[in-house]
Amino acid sequence: MWKDLEKSRGVFEALNKDQKKAVFAPEKPLLIVAGAGTGKTKTLTSRLIHLILKGVPSNKICALTFTNKAAREMEERVANNLQRTTDDGQKAVSRSSSVVSQKPSISTFHSLGARILRKEAKRLKRGFNFGIFDDDDSLRLVKKIAKDKLPKKTEAKPALIYEKISAIKNGMIELESLKNSKDINDEMAFYFFPIYEKALEENNAFDFDDLIQKVVGIFKNHPEILGRYQDQFSYVLVDEYQDINNVQYELIKLLAKDGKGLSVVGDDQQTIYSWRGSNIGIFLSFEKDWPEAQVMLLDQNYRSTQNIIHTASELIKNNQFQITHFGSEKKEKNLWTKNEGGEKVTLREFSNEDEEAGWISNEVLGDRLKVKGGEKKESIGILYRTNAQSRAIEQALIERELPYVIFGGVKFYDRFEIKDILAALRYYFNPKDSLSRERLEKNIGKRRFFDFQERIMSLENLEPAELVGAFLKTTDYFKMLEKSYTNFNERRENIAELTVFATQFKDLGEFLEKVSLVQAHDLVTSNKGYETSKEGEVVSLMTIHLAKGLEFDRVFLAGASEGILPHHRSIDTLEKLEEERRLTYVALTRARKKIHISFYDIPSRFLSELPIEVLDYAALDGKNFEDEERYITLD
């Protein structure tokens, strides 16, 4: 029945040969290795539809994704295709009304976990109406415990203690490994963990990490419950498999039972979230975990030009940690496309980040001026490794009156730590500024504010950068941030960026006026970013991590400099360095038509791995990557 229905409907006509091979693969553990832009989600969704048309009851299928957006898209694709199928093949479907009368379970890992916990909460001494604490709630709970349990003078930092607790729940570290650690934060995390767990129980709450970890615990401790869910979900499909962490992996293994109904899709060349627990080893060990596994490759890219694909492919082949064989067949993964060759990849060198930002903004402005009335503007994404890099780019775009969005982030001058420092500078410049004083007293405390006032306000003619340094030292601001925020390093980078910008000014009034004018003429639209803006109408700014899954006509990769990309904290091991290369690969493969790469100071080591034949690198200041003059610095 289902074969006739598929033929009559042509649901799968748009799939290529390799995609069809994956969709119709036998019911054995299936790993679909899908390169960038090869239609991985379409393929996984088509396999789900194929299972339903084959006669599998929809409610027997569980599909897991990482974002609500991805889950919604998959739901819509399944619903639309099944509706078209039933419209065209009503007679065939009438034999099994369950094919479309019930919906498959399509959700994020955390949504599935919450649903299971609602039914099983009593086993963990919670009511069905339990609350879910997000990261802010959980950190506040740890701070509350710290206030009661820690001595006033201690080096332990609540933010780092919570970070350790979260890492334990995500399978990144073992609780017992912290027991005899010499690190005070490890020691306190070991001590706090049971207290924190008890506090969650008393609040009738789970934290976000519990939504998976606690479900895994229930399944392990109650085989009868696990059996019930294994019977309910005979088929488990997982999107973005390269991003799963150890606990999510345990959940999949438990649900998938013998693996016959398991289908996963992902790309080991796009594993970029190890800092939040994703483990590339899980992806690479699929065949070892499932002896009957079948591994299939999707390597036809539909998104980008040949030059972009060639550039990205030549770069990523330098990584060692990736799948190199498919079943018994050993071959090199080689992303390819039928798209035209397209423009060369632009590579440009600048003396500093402001010059780089000016060039990027001029290129964007020139692109916009070429568009005639009624024509659609090309979508443009400006990508960077760290949030701190947005400062120069935002400023340059604003000066040219180019509207932009910060996708998934906060405008540079709206970031908490930046506003604190600017408040200190404004108060020094104008002691009658009561709003700046109130902000400082609230955020750094009255004692720290008094120290700042007593030690610094009497000093005269401090330059902006000097004043920033004096504020940080007098208030011990970095220590305060480290105790209070898990993303301390990112906030410190933002402050460093502000300090560097401040060195360009001798006069504090001039500096504050410049900053105020930037804010007053802010052209940022909705902070929700990409999803709320019409494609092409505004320029999208984001970190490379947030760009994954998105695509643009033109992409500017800013700051491809050694120490930024790869990041200086990620060059001490091969594993970290290869993840930085994967980040660069992700950035390159976001572009449909054109990629611009720019750098200042020392060029990224990854740039020397790009194929020279497709690079437009005429403006490299007369020096190649091997020129020793690049690496000479004056102390």
Is residue 447 flagged as an active site residue?
Answer: no
Q: What is the pTM of this model?
A: 0.85
- The letter for the amino acid at 145 is I
Whether residue 554 is predicted with pLDDT greater than 80 in this model: the reply is: yes
Whether residue 155 is predicted with pLDDT greater than 50 in this model: the reply is: yes
Residue scoring higher pLDDT (149 or 178): 178
| Catalytic member of 6, 18, 240, 250 | 240
The first and second tokens of residue 423, run together, are 């408040």
Residue scoring higher pLDDT (261 or 627): 261
Is residue 590 flagged as an active site residue?
Answer: yes
Total Cβ atoms within 10 A of residue 130: 20
| Catalytic member of 20, 28, 41, 135 | 41
| Catalytic member of 248, 269, 270, 346 | 270
| Helical pair 446-456 and 464-475, crossing angle rounded to 10 deg | 130
Whether residue 631 is predicted with pLDDT greater than 70 in this model: the reply is: no
What distance in Å separates the CA atoms of residue 508 and residue 429, rounded to the nearest whole number?
A: 7
Q: Which distant-in-sequence residues (6+ apart) come within 8 Å of 588 by Cβ? A: 308, 311, 312, 315, 555, 557, 595
The C-alpha angle with vertex 498 and arms to 493 and 501, in degrees rounded to 5, equals 125
166 phi/psi in degrees, rounded to 5: -65, -40
How confident is the model over 90-118, as pLDDT tens digits? 444 444 444 455 789 999 999 899 899 98
Q: Output the pLDDT for position 171.
A: 92
What distance in Å separates the CA atoms of residue 538 and residue 381, rounded to the nearest whole number?
A: 9
**Residue position matching structure tokens 């069809």:** 20
- Residue 607 in contact with residue 336, Cβ under 8 Å? no
Alpha helices in 98-134 (DSSP H): 98-101, 109-120
Q: Which distant-in-sequence residues (6+ apart) come within 8 Å of 325 by Cβ? A: 295, 331
- Residue 495 in contact with residue 482, Cβ under 8 Å? no
Is residue 40 flagged as an active site residue?
Answer: yes
Q: Output the pLDDT for position 2.
A: 43
- Average pLDDT of the residues in 592-601: 96
Is residue 41 flagged as an active site residue?
Answer: yes
> Beta strand pairing status for 380-384 and 539-543?
parallel
| Catalytic member of 239, 250, 394, 580 | 239
HEC string of 310-374 equals HHHHHHHCCCCCCCCEECCEECCCCCECCCCCCCCEEEEEECCHHHHHHHHHHHHHHHHHHCCCC
Whether residue 56 is predicted with pLDDT greater than 60 in this model: the reply is: yes
How confident is the model over 205-223, as pLDDT tens digits? 899 899 999 999 999 999 9
Whether residue 312 is predicted with pLDDT greater than 90 in this model: the reply is: yes
Minimum mean pLDDT range among 54-63, 152-161, 320-329: 320-329
Q: Output the pLDDT for position 524.
A: 47
181 φψ region: left (φ > 0), alpha (ψ -120 to 50), beta (else): beta
How confident is the model over 248-279, as pLDDT tens digits? 999 999 999 999 999 999 999 999 999 889 99
Q: Output the pLDDT for position 534.
A: 56
The first and second tokens of residue 165, run together, are 């607790």
Q: Output the pLDDT for position 484.
A: 83
| Residue 426 binned pLDDT confidence (cut-offs 50, 70, 90) | confident
Q: Output the pLDDT for position 532.
A: 37
- Average pLDDT of the residues in 549-558: 95
Whether residue 200 is predicted with pLDDT greater than 80 in this model: the reply is: yes
Is residue 239 flagged as an active site residue?
Answer: yes
Whether residue 635 is predicted with pLDDT greater than 50 in this model: the reply is: no
> Beta strand pairing status for 404-406 and 235-238?
unpaired
How confident is the model over 338-394, as pLDDT tens digits? 999 999 999 999 999 999 999 999 999 998 888 877 778 899 999 999 999 999 999
Mean pLDDT for the chain overall: 87
Annotate 591-616 with b (16+ C-beta within 10 A) or e (fewer). bbbbbbbbbbbebbbbbebbeeebbe
- Residue 617 in contact with residue 578, Cβ under 8 Å? no
94 φψ region: left (φ > 0), alpha (ψ -120 to 50), beta (else): alpha
- Residue 594 in contact with residue 554, Cβ under 8 Å? yes
- Residue 209 in contact with residue 170, Cβ under 8 Å? yes
Q: Output the pLDDT for position 222.
A: 96
DSSP summary character for residue 303: S
Residue 32 β-bridge partners: 265, 296
| Catalytic member of 40, 157, 581, 592 | 40
Residue 85's closest CA among 63, 54, 116? 54
Q: Which distant-in-sequence residues (6+ apart) come within 8 Å of 278 by Cβ? A: 242, 243, 244, 245, 271, 272
| Residue 536 binned pLDDT confidence (cut-offs 50, 70, 90) | low
Q: Output the pLDDT for position 281.
A: 93
| Catalytic member of 590, 592, 593, 594 | 590
Is residue 186 flagged as an active site residue?
Answer: no
